[in-house]
Amino acid sequence: MQRDSFLSRLRAGSETFDLLIVGGGASGLGAALDAAARGHRVALIEQGDFAKGTSSRSTKLVHGGVRYLGQGNISLVKSALHERGLLLRNAPHLAHPMPFVIPNYSWWGGPYYAFGLTLYDAVLANYCECVGLVKVNGLVAGVQARDLETGAEFAIRAKAVINATGVFVDALRKFDEPAGKPMVTVSQGVHLVLPREFLPGSSALMIPKTADGRVLFAIPWHDKLVVGTTDTPNVPASTEPRALPEEVGFIMDHAQQYLARDPSESDVLSVFAGLRPLVRKDGAGSTAALSRDHTIAISTSRLITLTGGKWTTYRKMAEDVIDQAERVAGLAHKPSPTGSLAIHGAADIAGIERTLQFYGSDAAGIAASMKADPALAAAVHPALAIRQGEVLWHVRNEMARTVEDVLARRTRSLVLDAKAAIEAAPLVARLLAKELRRDDAWVAAQVRDFTALARGWLLKAPAATTPKRNAPLVA
């Protein structure tokens, strides 16, 4: 996937795409895949990196949603469980079954929880921001885009535009209807990452009822333990949200009750926060009680907005929005094939080296590059299971443009061990610079910028005084 060639097609302005998607998270990328798999010509732009926001900051769990049973939302649970089954089949290198241990304190608890329990012809560009809409006779006919690497602006035309920008959908909607009412409210969820020893064995842990009514999980993941999440309502939309002291305290309090031993702040390898776009409902109480059902809205000028939903049901969200987009764009309806479409890389992982299994069929190419040049088999850091050959693969084949792209999303380094990721940044920057033909000043800037960002994923002790409501806990 070559960003430069894709951008050249977008900047040329000679194509009118069937569908243009703004937003490169799970919903937007899922919609692009669905549309391209149907045979439509698709373009997608993302202002940051793919999955930089909500999509990369989840609990790493594909599940039906136990909390929604208590809300009586059986249809959402059934839909999510169906989608979970499809992911297990279509992405065996990325999703696998996980047994759970669930504390149960009443006779009825057991039955209750047992009941619940290579894109095609698509043009993609990250670091390409939508800065306005193109309208013809009052109808949306494309967007005005800006390449954030060069500053160049250009128009991209399409028969229909889909707004899939997550917590930022209302900002894009302002280009269409400046006086329009907001569609979403934003809540924040925080996770802590601990060494695996805090939950021995092969099972995950679900704490079904916490003080605020949420479900708390402890999930073994890449030889670490992810513990979360929280639900803090009405936070501002941000590209880099930060954990609040009370959120971290809430997770630590519960972790100390249920894990094999009490974790301390010095045990926390990483702390990350993610934002959820929740469809506004008049009179709703806490955001934990708001439904995660997705919503598709079409404005009078034909801007299509997809919001709400949950990670597990991204494929169904994509299918539904493309069904609507076909009608808006005047395209012949084609049924979605994604229910049986294998995700890129899908392969039997039994014969693949353990540290490369999540690459699926791509693992062979990475292994071959390291065999051809043994120096590429060296790790980028002793505490990280990432090798130099993987970094080059991400640049050449997965549109990685920055140190953050590699260490935060193409690999899970920042999530798994923020301190180690900071220490690995200089080497990763040099590898990127060689591939992207950047100079020493770029390397220095990349290391500086990543270090500043990654410090926000390190936990520090709270101040002795009571913190303000929105005071960040992390450095």
| Predicted pLDDT at 77 | 60
Per-10-residue mean pLDDT, the chain, length 475: 89 95 93 95 95 78 54 58 68 63 45 40 92 98 97 97 96 96 92 96 84 82 92 91 93 91 95 92 46 83 92 88 97 94 83 89 94 96 96 95 97 96 98 97 98 93 36 36
| Predicted pLDDT at 301 | 97
Gap between the Cα atoms of 69 and 208, Å rounded: 12
Pair 32, 336: CB distance under 8 Å: no
| Predicted pLDDT at 440 | 97
State the residue for tokens 């390397």. 443
Instruction: Give the architecture (CATH level 2) of 354-455.
Output: Orthogonal Bundle (1.10)
> What does the domain layout of the chain look like in residue ranges?
3-53+119-183+291-340, 354-455
Looking at domain 3-53+119-183+291-340, its CATH class is alpha beta
| Predicted pLDDT at 293 | 76
**CB-count burial class (<10 Å; 0-12, 13-18, 19+) for 365:** middle
Residues 6+ apart with CB under 8 A from 473: 242, 243, 244, 245, 247, 248, 271, 459, 460, 462, 467
| Predicted pLDDT at 459 | 87
Residues 6+ apart with CB under 8 A from 225: 193, 194, 195, 196, 198, 199, 218, 219, 259
Gap between the Cα atoms of 416 and 55, Å rounded: 16
Pair 427, 380: CB distance under 8 Å: yes
Gap between the Cα atoms of 437 and 473, Å rounded: 38
